[in-house]
Amino acid sequence: MAPPPDTNLVELTLDRAFTDLDRNAPPEGILTGLRQIEPACQEKTATRARLLHARGLVMNRMGFPGEALGDLHEAGQLFDGLDDRSAVARVWRSIAQVHSWRGNGREAAFALLRVVAEEGKQLRNISLALLDAGRLEFEIGRLRDADVLLRRGLEIGADIISAGERRNAQINRVKVLAAMDDLPSAKAILAELDLTGASERMLHLAAMEQARIAVREADLPAARALLARANDLAPPQPDAFGRIEQKQAEAELALAEKNPTAALELMHAVITRYAADDLAGREVVARLFEAKALDLLDRGEDADRTLAAALRRAIGRGLSGYVDEVRAQLALRGRPQNALPPALEAGDPDLGSAERFVRRRPLGAGGFGSVSRAYDLELGKEIALKRLQLSGIYDPELRAGRLDAARTEVAAASRIRHPGVGQVYGLLIEPDDEALLVRELVEGPTLREAMAGALHVAEKLGIAAHLAHCLAAIHAAGVVHRDLKPENVVLRNGLMPVIIDFGVSAIAGTASNGEGANTQAYAAPEQLRGRSIDGGADLYALGTICYELFLGALPERPEGGLKGFFTAAGRSRRIRQALIAAGAPDAAAEVTARLLAYARRDRPAKARDVALALQAQPA
């Protein structure tokens, strides 16, 4: 085992890391150096806090905001314990930058307030906080406010902030002014910009902004020359962030040169990267541009789709300036300003290439496939992506059955619009014959996981009543779920039940042989016998869940055949008594016993009646 590096080497490495970060050196190389000194930085000292601060900045540059924020918050706590207020302020500025890049305006604003609170008496920190706030306003699309804050920050910090900090702020102001179409002011700042000793990153940014202004002024030869110069200054790594920015500027030039096809090809890579790095404001701007290029190719529906995705993204992140801009574009196309086009809201079963799913993270696996969390570039939001396991299935009938189940889920869920029913956006068949089911991402524990904890009587009744309302919506759409169980219920935000997984549903007016992947413990007697079923089978499953909520165990199964009929009354009495003994209100015990009746005719007629009865129970 190699000995840890000595103290001097550690401090020198940290100093070099922050210097490299200031000059925008490739983050991978910086991270390698930090890992080499990490064994010597385990104690809760200022050295470890500096390591965490540097590593957080590196992780942010590499597109891992969660890891970055974890390191930065730990660094801030260490500096706070050491009572180093200046260092705490620096760390919170970095936290604000992570949130600002991703359009998280609320969190960025609170972080900047912390900066001022830590060292509000120093004009330099006030200047830098104003400059960061100006950048935040730009990222969320509020251009005039961004210009005011950037201008004021530069005025306060005129003789205080460093040359590099001043250049960064001036370039940001150029971007704001250009976006506001104030090209003379933007050009004036670029003309006065002192690039002596500037990093290649800064030189690259300046050249790109000059090229963008030339494009807006229709001076295309100048724009081409400036972009060629910018390309020479761009990082050599093909996946470097500067290369993505270069592609965006080249796409703008291609569109100005009446080549929308080339512009679209370039912009696709840009949108993919911005989405993967969770840069919401930049993604929205890129989608607005993409819509213009699609219109030039007479692809109006595709333009509608990308604008709808931009609107979802802007609303989801609270990017107020961009929300108004996207809505205005939709209005110009004859779309309602306050609603997405219905066809786009529902999703299209023919969803296109699987390349559109980025930022995949595993969520779990089941008998039919694996489920991951991903960002959908076409829908403009996070979704749950279920990959059906077909590659190892040689039986053609079994393969067809899996695909039929997925198609059934799309058809069944598309009929229902209810907050307690998970949406399904479509099915994608890939070239390798694999299948992807695109679902709404419902965040929270499954009901099975929640039942492992301690639930109050009122919570149990509330869950059961809400599930009954969900079933009422499902049955009203002519759908029978057929596989209701705690594993197929997710508690959104830990509170509200949402029914998912319609893979074995039966739809009114379609044939069903009564078979399916239902879990036998929750299946109604007629379902197990292969008989024709209706919503009563789902009510039986609901009764099983209600019983399990109160007793933590499954109810007594009915006997088969005629014996089940003759013993039904005694079984119902035992179920009712067990529920009351477990603390269920008398009327709730009565409703549950009826739900678990052997014969369909003895169960409640409608799910809504069950919901109202459960809601009326005292906790």
- Say how far apart CA 375 and CA 390 lie, in whole Å: 23
pLDDT of residue 547: 94
Place of tokens 């260490």: 78
Q: Which residues contact 7 (CB under 8 A, 6 or more apart)?
A: 40, 47
Which structural domain range is residue 522 located in?
447-615
Q: Which residues contact 41 (CB under 8 A, 6 or more apart)?
A: 10, 47, 48, 51
Number of other CB atoms surrounding residue 205 within 10 Å? 23
27-55 pLDDT, tens per residue?
888 999 999 998 888 888 899 999 999 99
502 with 517, same domain? yes
457 with 398, same domain? no
- Say how far apart CA 246 and CA 266 lie, in whole Å: 10
Contacts made by residues 608-615, CB under 8 angstroms, sequence distance 24+ = 608/468, 608/469, 608/472, 610/465, 610/468, 610/471, 610/539, 610/542, 611/465, 611/466, 611/468, 611/469, 611/472, 613/587, 613/588, 614/461, 614/464, 614/465, 614/468, 614/588, 615/461, 615/465
Instruction: Point out the domain boundary residue: 400, 422, 440.
Output: 440
436 with 451, same domain? no
pLDDT of residue 482: 84
Residue 428: give its domain's CATH number.
3.30.200.20
- 77 with 112: CB under 8 angstroms? no
pLDDT of residue 404: 72
- 5 with 36: CB under 8 angstroms? yes
* Termini Cα distance of the chain: 62
pLDDT of residue 107: 82
487 with 604, same domain? yes
Whether 534 is covered by a domain: the verdict is yes
428 with 456, same domain? no
525 with 451, same domain? yes
531 with 608, same domain? yes
Among 571, 509, 514, CA closest to 537: 514
433 with 463, same domain? no
Residue 496: give its domain's CATH number.
1.10.510.10
Place of tokens 């024709």: 532
DSSP code of 121? Answer: T
Q: Which residues contact 254 (CB under 8 A, 6 or more apart)?
A: 260, 262, 263, 266
pLDDT of residue 337: 47
pLDDT of residue 353: 42
pLDDT of residue 399: 67
Counted domains in the chain: 2
- Say how far apart CA 591 and CA 612 lie, in whole Å: 11
pLDDT of residue 276: 82
> Which pTM value belongs to this model?
0.57
416 with 436, same domain? yes
* Spans in the chain with pLDDT lower than 70: 1-7, 120-121, 334-356, 358-359, 364-369, 377-378, 380, 389-394, 399, 402, 405, 409, 429-434, 503-518, 561, 564, 617-619
DSSP code of 394? Answer: -
- Say how far apart CA 328 and CA 330 lie, in whole Å: 5
Instruction: Point out the domain boundary residue: 440, 463, 479.
Output: 440
pLDDT of residue 515: 42
496 with 583, same domain? yes
Q: Report which residue type is found at 258.
A: K
458 with 597, same domain? yes
Among 443, 439, 437, 484, CA closest to 464: 484
Whether 491 is covered by a domain: the verdict is yes
* Helices vs. strands in the chain: H and E counts, helices first: 27, 9
Whether 457 is covered by a domain: the verdict is yes
461 with 599, same domain? yes
Whether 323 is covered by a domain: the verdict is no
**Lookup: tokens for 357:** 């799913």
- Say how far apart CA 135 and CA 96 lie, in whole Å: 10
- 99 by Cβ neighbours in 10 Å (0-12 / 13-18 / 19+) ranks as buried
Whether 460 is covered by a domain: the verdict is yes
pLDDT of residue 376: 76
Number of other CB atoms surrounding residue 279 within 10 Å? 21
Instruction: Point out the domain boundary residue: 412, 440, 468.
Output: 440
Task: Please name the helix (run of DSSP H) or strand (run of DSSP E) that holds residue 69, with its range, or none.
Answer: helix 65-81
- Residue 408's alpha-carbon distances to 273, 355, 516, in angstroms, are 34, 24, 12
